[in-house]
Amino acid sequence: MGAAHTPDEADDLVLSLRDVRKVYASGEAEVAALDGVSLDVRRGEFVAIVGTSGSGKSTLMNMIGCLDRPTSGTYHLVGHDVSAFDDTQRAEARSRYVGFIFQGFNLLARTSAVENVETPLLYLGVGHEERRARALRALDLVGLSGRVNNTPSQLSGGQQQRVAIARALVTNPALLLADEPTGNLDSRTTEEVLALLQWLNRERGVTLVMVTHEPDVAACASRVVTVRDGRIVSDVRNASPRRAGQRSEVDDATAEDALATLSAPLPEARAGMGWTMALTLAARSLLRSKLRAALTALGILIGIAAVVTMSAVGEGAKARVRTQMSALGANLLVVMPGGGMAGGARGAAGSVTSLTDDDAEAIAREVPTVSHVAPVLAANAQVVAGDQNASTRVTGTTPRYFAVRAWAASRGTLWDDDAVRAAQPVCAIGETVRKALFENVDAVGREMRVGRMTCTVVATLAPKGQSGFGQDNDDAVLMPISAFRAGITRLPNGQVNMVMVTARSADVVHRAQFGVTELLRQRHPVRAGEEDAFRVNNLSDIMSTFNEQMSLLSMVLLLVASISLLVGGIGVMNIMLVSVTERTREIGVRLAIGAQADDILTQFLFEAVMLAAVGGVVGLSLGYGAAAILGHVTKLAMTVPPTIAFFSVLVSCGLGVVFGYVPARRAAHLDPIDALRRE
C-alpha cells in the first residue's frame, strides 16, 4: 500500500488524495460516488484503476484530472492543494500537470495531427514556432513522424489514439490520465497502444493512471487499484506486469531528442489564446460549413447592402440638388401662389391663383432689398422648325428673367422690354432646343412654330447643362410674357404662375424674403387664422424641404434595414446556439486539455463576429456595386460616404458581439464533465 511513506519519498509524490468524498444528490437520497478515498501515486508509477460499472472509477478520474472538486477531503497534485482551487485555477492545473487520453480519442475533426497536438500549448500561450517544434517531437515519440499532416479521418484508430497520446505528452505533464484508452480499439491495436504506454512509463519515466475494465489491460500496469462502491477495496503491486506486444519502432536517439525538447520549461504566466489564433479558429470553423455560414450572414448582408445603397442614392440626389441650387444662385427667391412647395394639394383645396404682373411690379418698386423681379408663365409645348420637332418647356417672362437666372446669349441678341411692350413673337432658345431643331444651321433669324404661334428666334442661350431634379436647363424656349399670353395660353386678370426675385446680395436674402412676404400680405389679405395665398421660398427653404423629404426616406430605409439587421443578428445567434450544441464534446475536450472559460468564450465570440463581419463586408461590397450601377443608369454622382462604410462594418461586428455573446457564454459555462459525456 502506498499510504505510508518516508519524508524523502514525498518529493516523488505526484498525487495524493486524502479521505476524498464526492456526494451526488440523487432525488431524495444522496449517493456517495466516492466515499473516503485515499490514494498516493509516485513518479514513474503505472496505476490501473479497475472496478465494475458504477463503482466510481470515472468520478475518481475526474477528481484526479482536476475536472471535478471533492465534496470533502483534500487532493494534492504535485504539491498543490487542488481541492481549494477555483475553476480557473483548476483549468490551469489541468493544462500544466495533466495529459488526458480518452476512450474515444477526442481529436479535433478536420484538423491535422500536428495541430491537434499543438492545441494544449495554444492555451498556455506558447509561441507558434515552439508549439510546432514540440508537437512534432511529441509525434516522433509516438512513432507518427510520417503522419503529421493527416487529419483524424485519414488515420486508423490506433494512430488516432497515438496522436491523442502525443497531445497528452506535449506539455510534458506530471501525469498521464487515460480513461479506457483501448476501449475503442481492436485487440491488435490495443496491444500497440499499451506497448507505447508501457514504453513511455518504463523507459521514459512517464507517470500513468489508467482506468480500465479489462483485466488483460490492467495486467500491463505495475499497480492495480480496485474500486467498489466509491471505496478502494484493494491496491496491489504487480511485480511482473504483462509485456504488451509490438510497439512501432522509435529509436533511442529520436526519443532522447524528443524528450529533451518536451522537457523545456513552459511559459510561467498563462497567456491564453491570442487574437490571431482566435481568428484562425473562427475562420476554420466557418469554412467548415460554408453554406450555413453564407445563409446565416444573409440577413446582415441584405441590411448593410440596403443601407449602403440608399445612402449613396441620397448623397447623389443631394449633390445634384446642391449643384443646381448653386447654379441658380443663393440670392434667389421664388414666390408661388397657394401653398408654395406643397401648392398642388392646397391649390386643389380651393385657394385661387392670385399672383399677377402687378404683384411683380409692386415687389420691384417697393421692396428695396430686391434687385430683379421676373413674373413667369410656363407651359409645355410642341416646337417645330422645318421637318424637325420637339417637345419643350416654354416660359413667358420679362428680360429681368435673364438677369435672375444669369442667362446670356451665345449668339444673337436677347429680346428686350420693347419686345414685351409690343408683344413681339420672338424667342430665345436653349441649347437642347437648338440642337433638336437647328442642328446644322444658324438658328438666329429663323422662324419656328411654338404651339399654334409662329415666332422668330432672336438668340440662342449659353448652355447651362444638365442639373437638378432630373431637369435639363437647356430644354427651354423663353419669350416675352405678352407674346406668351397672346399665342400660347393666358390666365385671367394678368395672373402668373410664379414670380422669381433676386435679393441684392446673399446677406439680405432673408430681409428681402420678409419684405416680399409683408408686401404681398397687404396686397392679398386673408382672414385671421387662414394661410397666406402665396408662399415665398428662398433656396435654402427649398433645399431644406428637399432634405427633409430625403431624411424621411432615409428613416424609412433605416427602419427596414434595421429590421433586416435584427433578423440577421437573431440568425447568427440561432446558428451559434446550434453550433454550441453540436460541438459540446469539442468544448469538453478543449476544457479538459487546458482551455479556460475565457478561451472558449473568445473562440465562439470571434466566430459570431466573423460571421457577422463577413455579412457586413459582402453587403458593403454589394452596396458599392449597386450604387455604381444606379449611378451609371441615373447619371447621378453616387458615392458611398466613408463614414457609412466604416459604420456598416462596425455595426455588423457589433451585431456579432451582441448576438454571439449568449451562445458564447453558454459554451464557456459548460461543465467539462457533462460536455465530455455528451455524444
C-alpha cell, 366: 417697393
Which partner from the list Mg ion, ligand ADP, none does 59 bind, CB cut-off 5 to 8 Å by kind?
A: ligand ADP
Q: Which stretch binds Mg ion (CB under 5 A): 58-66, 316-324, 396-404, 588-596?
A: 58-66
Point out which residues pair with 448 in neighbouring strands: 455
Q: For Mg ion, which is the closer residue by CB, 58 or 95?
A: 58
Q: Which of residues 302-321 bind ligand ADP (CB under 6 A)?
A: none
Q: For ligand ADP, which is the closer residue by CB, 100 or 415?
A: 100
d(CA 175, CA 94) in angstroms, rounded, equals 10
Q: Which stretch binds ligand ADP (CB under 6 A): 53-61, 422-430, 502-510, 576-584?
A: 53-61
Q: Which of residues 173-202 bind ligand ADP (CB under 6 A)?
A: none
Point out which residues pair with 223 in neighbouring strands: 47, 237
Ramachandran angles phi, psi of 665, nearest 5°: -65, -40
Out of 14, 46, 58, 520, the only residue in the binding site for ligand ADP (CB under 6 A) is 58
Q: How far is the CB of 271 from Mg ion (least distance, A)?
A: 34
Q: How far is the CB of 57 from Mg ion (least distance, A)?
A: 5
C-alpha cell, 603: 473562440
Within 8 A by CB and 6+ apart from 300, the residues are 564, 565, 568, 569, 571, 572, 612, 615, 616, 619, 652, 655
By CB under 6 A, residue 55 contacts ligand ADP: yes
d(CA 322, CA 315) in angstroms, rounded, equals 10
d(CA 368, CA 350) in angstroms, rounded, equals 33
Q: 24-43 mask for ligand ADP (x: CB under 6 A)? A: x-x----x-x----------
By CB under 6 A, residue 468 contacts ligand ADP: no
Whether 355 and 337 have beta carbons less than 8 Å apart is answered as yes
Out of 14, 15, 20, 56, the only residue in the binding site for ligand ADP (CB under 6 A) is 56
Tell me, what DSSP letter sits at residue 9? G
Q: For Mg ion, which is the closer residue by CB, 58 or 351?
A: 58
Out of 58, 351, 495, 602, the only residue in the binding site for Mg ion (CB under 5 A) is 58
Q: For ligand ADP, which is the closer residue by CB, 577 or 673?
A: 673
Q: Which stretch binds Mg ion (CB under 5 A): 55-63, 123-131, 411-419, 502-510?
A: 55-63
Instruction: Tell me the Ramachandran region of residue 350: left when phi exceeds 0, alpha when psi lies from -120 to 50, beta otherwise.
Output: left
Within 8 A by CB and 6+ apart from 520, the residues are 335, 359, 363, 532, 534, 536
Which amino acid, 478? L
Q: How far is the CB of 56 from Mg ion (least distance, A)?
A: 8
Q: Which stretch binds ligand ADP (CB under 6 A): 46-54, 136-144, 261-269, 593-601?
A: 46-54
Q: Which of residues 59-88 bind ligand ADP (CB under 6 A)?
A: 59
By CB under 6 A, residue 54 contacts ligand ADP: yes
Which partner from the list ligand ADP, Mg ion, none does 56 bind, CB cut-off 5 to 8 Å by kind?
A: ligand ADP
Q: For Mg ion, which is the closer residue by CB, 232 or 612?
A: 232
Q: How far is the CB of 612 from Mg ion (least distance, A)?
A: 41
Cα angle vertex 495, ends 489, 499, to 5°?
105
DSSP collapsed to 3 states, 30-48: EEEEEEEEEEEEECCCEEE
Out of 51, 181, 314, 399, the only residue in the binding site for ligand ADP (CB under 6 A) is 51
Q: For ligand ADP, which is the closer residue by CB, 53 or 276?
A: 53
d(CA 578, CA 24) in angstroms, rounded, equals 30
Q: Which stretch binds Mg ion (CB under 5 A): 54-62, 137-145, 426-434, 659-667?
A: 54-62
d(CA 164, CA 138) in angstroms, rounded, equals 10
Out of 6, 53, 153, 522, the only residue in the binding site for ligand ADP (CB under 6 A) is 53
Within 8 A by CB and 6+ apart from 669, the residues are 597
Say which residue the cell 510561467 belongs to: 268
Q: How far is the CB of 22 from ligand ADP (least distance, A)?
A: 8
d(CA 269, CA 360) in angstroms, rounded, equals 86
Number of residues in contact with ligand ADP under rule CB under 6 A: 12
Q: Residues interacting with Mg ion, by CB under 5 A?
A: 58
Q: Which residues contact ligand ADP by CB under 6 A?
A: 24, 26, 31, 33, 51, 53-59
